[in-house]
């Protein structure tokens, strides 16, 4: 994601630092998963025989493999290159010239099988025989390298080792991986060598599940659940497990395609808040206050990223700098739209698109992004966006609120879209066929000096929901540019998970700010192009029957948007550097703080959903870490027990962190609980096999959904000299009507930004109250360490004197740092 050639594959450091590759909003979809129900509760028959479904799943996998053949060709049939074939052919010819036969007689047999074209073509037959032999030998070598690399990548011993320690077997393994990987890496270089996600033992999964629910169930409820589990293992588990193993052998991944279909595409709920998530701009700086200029640079940077993506110049991500992750999800970042269906949506992806769709003050425009000479420069794009901002024409009736349909329940939007398809096909195609959607907002957003806390909360709400009618929620992502130059993304979730869009967003922020830059007056560098045609205004011929649907959709979107309570705050009293000095995983430390904070907020423990990735495997997506463990509960109870000493609490904290790390590593290595149980449940639905145990599993309430947002390309940002130029992360809507959604990002070494959401209609939740509990929990946990005691004492004194909450924005970094606008790059 760099604007310059990568010096090395992008490492995602983190098992010890806590920067694991995570996902965000998929927690909401997973928790709300009901595969056999439509939005109105009517049963949907999964009538396809399970073997047929497994066959079709494998068929889709093989089609994807064939479609990637061109990518394999571009990468040089990784891990070999076409030059290696030429070298091998030349060596064989040289040996033949020296009257040596490296084929041990095989080339003579090949010559005999070739047609006889006469004596004058005898030498041509020899060359063809050598070429065929070289090709066969070359293919055999490539296949051997693929198999060897796949076997090497199946090793997970490195994942289980303590952070900072590397055993001799792991060092040997790493050296072999680097040898077999070759030198010329591209984005999809490792795809054919990644192992498939294993199907865990059903007995292990059930055991881990029972262990995870023990802290949140009464003795009676736990005994009842254990009895259901025992009955499941005795009666149904073996049959369901057999079908999953069959699918794992035939398809690329035994769970990911079903996860995409049943958790996302079959969901009938509104995408707004329920599925889509947001990503923020820099927190403390805005590179330019000129809205059109910021849009011009950002769009140009995004299209540069697409260009690099098309040419596979983005290098594969390496976990901890060692292990490649699956890159399949990158394919649908651009030119992608989720098309609504009555029972099931589908993802439409185009090979290319040379325009973006733009929304401003209720009007839609088509803006071309390329000329005959290539991608338009930033200044030309700024000119086009400024033309839209200066256009005085009003919105047509109902056009202003048309996009509210994309926030409506999916079956309603699917029915209305049929009318639009016939009445306004060109305009609809211009939006759905765009590279992405751009919303030029007429209001400013972002951190303000006058009311920093409220302004950040409003900024998050604007990115997550807007006004309900100014985002096209079906597009893979919407770039939002506010009137004061602040940026943000609203991202549709079904096509990929948060680390993919996060990778793109990091590149965009770094490129538009540091590489493209702005002139002294805040405009894009370069000169306008008066010869460019004006942006094309899209006209919607909306039939009368659509008007009522738009009004209903807008009313529903406003109700849903108005019920969301967003709270964003940077905690700057310490960050991951302090946690590292305590010899703890930063992610696990935050998870324990969230357990403590939630217990103080609600007075009880609850099932906690933490998302992690399974991209160590081919086409892997996510897995759940159940963070509310017995060890975590023991630690929380000790912290609330005044009779416990700091050393006792610290010992329990280390046990809880170690347990969390063990669960995290198991989930990443394909030995998690929830995706396996999900796939078993889907098979049971196809077989029409009732399982009280699986029904119980998928009726659970997750009142706390959490996720860490990874910083994947720290080399793009100078966090030491320019700590303000780091993305402040993003967030997602609340998972449960009476629960919280919490995401967090480590900004540099000394700041952690939290994004909290809940519903205002719930009397049990309050995002600001939980935020206060999180800050208090972090400081209380830090005080278990000698260095942390000084932090807490200093913070308490500052909070009392200033009248502001400890760690809140006015006293950020022990002083009041105001947002700034900077254009000097």
DSSP-assigned letters across all residues of 450-496: SSHHHHHHHHHHHHHTTTSSSS-TTBSEEEEE-TTS-EEEEE-STT-
pLDDT value of position 820 = 60
**Cα dihedral angle (156, 157, 163, 167), rounded to 10 degrees?**
-140
Q: Is the dihedral of CA 653, 656, 662, 663 positive or negative?
A: negative
pLDDT value of position 99 = 76
What are 256-301's pLDDT values in tens digits?
A: 999 999 999 999 999 999 999 999 999 999 999 999 999 999 999 9
pLDDT value of position 375 = 96
CA distance 810 to 453: 8
- CB atoms inside a 10 Å sphere around CB 453: 19
pLDDT value of position 726 = 81
pLDDT value of position 79 = 56
313 contacts 187 by C-beta, under 8 angstroms: yes
CA distance 622 to 706: 13
Phi, psi of 119, rounded to the nearest 5 degrees: -65, -35
Q: What is the DSSP letter of 192?
A: G
User: Model-level pTM?
Assistant: 0.89
264 contacts 493 by C-beta, under 8 angstroms: yes
pLDDT value of position 142 = 82
pLDDT value of position 720 = 74
Q: What is the DSSP letter of 217?
A: S
- CB atoms inside a 10 Å sphere around CB 418: 11
pLDDT value of position 442 = 95
What are 489-518's pLDDT values in tens digits?
A: 999 999 999 999 999 999 999 999 999 999
Residues (pLDDT < 50) of the chain are 1-9, 11-19, 21, 36-45, 797-817, 823-825
pLDDT value of position 137 = 87
3-state helix, strand, coil in the chain (%, to 5): 50, 15, 40
270 contacts 408 by C-beta, under 8 angstroms: yes
**Active site amino acids:** 493
CA distance 753 to 183: 38
- CB atoms inside a 10 Å sphere around CB 249: 12
What is the layout of strands, in order, in the sheet containing 608-613? Answer: 564-571, 751-759, 740-747, 704-708, 608-613, 622-626
Helix 378-390 vs helix 291-310: angle between axes, to the nearest 10 degrees? 130
pLDDT value of position 119 = 59
437 contacts 359 by C-beta, under 8 angstroms: yes
pLDDT value of position 71 = 60
Of 52, 57, 63, 66, nearest in space to 251 by CA = 57
């Amino acid at each position: 994601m760099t604007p310059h050639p990568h010096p090395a594959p992008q490492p995602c450091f983190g098992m010890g630092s806590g920067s694991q590759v995570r996902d965000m909003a998929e927690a909401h979809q997973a928790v709300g998963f009901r595969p056999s129900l439509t939005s109105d509760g009517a049963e949907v028959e999964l009538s396809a025989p399970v073997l047929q479904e497994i066959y079709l799943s494998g068929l889709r996998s093989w089609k994807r493999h064939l479609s990637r053949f061109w990518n394999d060709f571009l990468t040089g049939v990784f891990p070999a290159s076409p030059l290696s074939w030429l070298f091998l052919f030349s060596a064989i010819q040289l040996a033949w010239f020296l009257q040596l036969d490296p084929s041990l007689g095989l080339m003579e047999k090949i010559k005999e099988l070739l047609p006889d074209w006469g004596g004058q073509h005898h030498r041509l037959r020899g060359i063809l025989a050598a070429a065929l032999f070289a090709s066969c030998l070359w293919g055999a070598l490539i296949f051997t390298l693929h198999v060897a690399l796949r076997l090497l990548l199946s090793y997970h011993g490195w994942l289980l080792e303590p952070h900072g320690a590397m055993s001799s077997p792991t060092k040997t393994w790493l050296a072999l991986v680097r040898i077999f990987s070759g030198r010329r890496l591209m984005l999809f270089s490792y795809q054919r060598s990644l192992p498939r996600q294993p199907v865990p033992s059903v007995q292990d999964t059930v055991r881990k599940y029972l262990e995870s629910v023990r802290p949140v169930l009464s003795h009676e409820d736990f005994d009842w659940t254990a009895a259901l589990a025992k009955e499941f293992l005795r009666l149904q588990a073996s049959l369901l497990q057999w079908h999953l193993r069959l699918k794992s052998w035939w398809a690329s991944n035994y769970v990911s395609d079903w996860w995409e279909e049943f958790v996302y595409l079959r969901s009938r709920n509104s995408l707004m808040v329920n599925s889509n998530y947001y990503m923020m701009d820099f927190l403390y700086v805005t590179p330019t206050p000129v809205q059109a200029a910021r849009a011009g640079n950002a769009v140009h940077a995004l299209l540069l990223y697409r260009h690099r993506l098309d040419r596979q110049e983005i290098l594969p991500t390496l976990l901890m700098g060692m292990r490649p992750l699956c890159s399949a999800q990158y394919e649908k970042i651009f030119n992608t739209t989720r098309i609504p269906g009555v029972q099931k949506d589908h993802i439409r992806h185009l090979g290319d698109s040379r325009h973006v769709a733009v929304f401003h003050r209720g009007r839609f425009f088509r803006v071309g992004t390329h000329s005959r000479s290539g991608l338009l420069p930033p200044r030309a794009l700024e000119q086009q966006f400024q033309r839209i901002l200066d256009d005085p024409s009003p919105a047509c009736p109902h056009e202003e609120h048309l996009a509210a349909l994309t926030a409506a329940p999916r079956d309603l939007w699917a029915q209305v879209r049929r009318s639009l398809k016939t009445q306004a096909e060109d305009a609809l195609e211009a939006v759905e066929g765009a590279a992405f959607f751009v919303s030029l907002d007429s209001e400013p957003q972002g951190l303000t000096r006058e009311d920093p806390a409220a302004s950040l909360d409003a900024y998050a709400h604007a990115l997550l929901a807007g006004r309900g009618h100014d985002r096209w929620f079906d597009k893979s992502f919407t770039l939002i540019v506010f009137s004061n130059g602040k940026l943000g993304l609203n991202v549709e979730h079904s096509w990929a998970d948060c680390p993919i869009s996060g990778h793109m967003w990091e590149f965009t922020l770094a490129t538009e700010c540091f590489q493209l830059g702005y002139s002294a007056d805040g405009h894009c560098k370069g000169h306008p192009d008066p010869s460019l045609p004006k942006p094309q205004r899209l006209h919607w011929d909306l039939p009368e029957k659509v008007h009522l649907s738009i009004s209903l959709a807008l009313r529903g979107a406003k109700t849903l948007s108005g019920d969301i309570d967003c709270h964003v705050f940077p905690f700057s009293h310490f960050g991951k550097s302090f946690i590292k000095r305590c010899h703890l995983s930063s992610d696990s430390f935050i998870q324990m703080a969230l357990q403590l904070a939630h217990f103080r907020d609600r007075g009880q423990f609850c099932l906690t959903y933490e998302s992690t990735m399974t991209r160590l495997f081919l086409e892997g997506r996510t897995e759940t870490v159940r963070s509310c463990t017995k060890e975590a509960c023991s630690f929380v109870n000790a912290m609330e027990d005044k009779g416990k000493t700091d050393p006792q609490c610290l010992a329990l904290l280390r046990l809880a962190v170690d347990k969390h790390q063990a669960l995290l590593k198991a989930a990443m290595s394909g030995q998690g609980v929830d995706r396996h149980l999900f796939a078993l449940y889907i098979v049971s639905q196809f077989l029409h096999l009732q399982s009280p145990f699986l029904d119980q599993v998928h009726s659970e309430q997750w009142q706390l959904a959490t996720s860490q947002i990874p910083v994947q390309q720290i080399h793009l940002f100078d966090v030491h000299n320019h700590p303000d130029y780091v993305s402040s992360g993003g967030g997602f809507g609340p998972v449960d009507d009476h629960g919280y959604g919490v995401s967090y990002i480590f900004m540099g070494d000394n700041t952690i930004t939290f994004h909290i959401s809940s519903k205002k209609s719930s009397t049990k939740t309050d995002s600001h109250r939980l935020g206060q509990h999180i800050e208090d929990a972090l400081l209380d946990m830090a005080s278990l360490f000698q260095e942390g005691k000084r932090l807490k004492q200093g913070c308490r004194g500052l909070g009392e004197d200033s009248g502001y909450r400890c760690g809140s924005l006015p006293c950020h970094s022990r002083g009041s740092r105001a947002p700034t606008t900077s254009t000097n790059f």
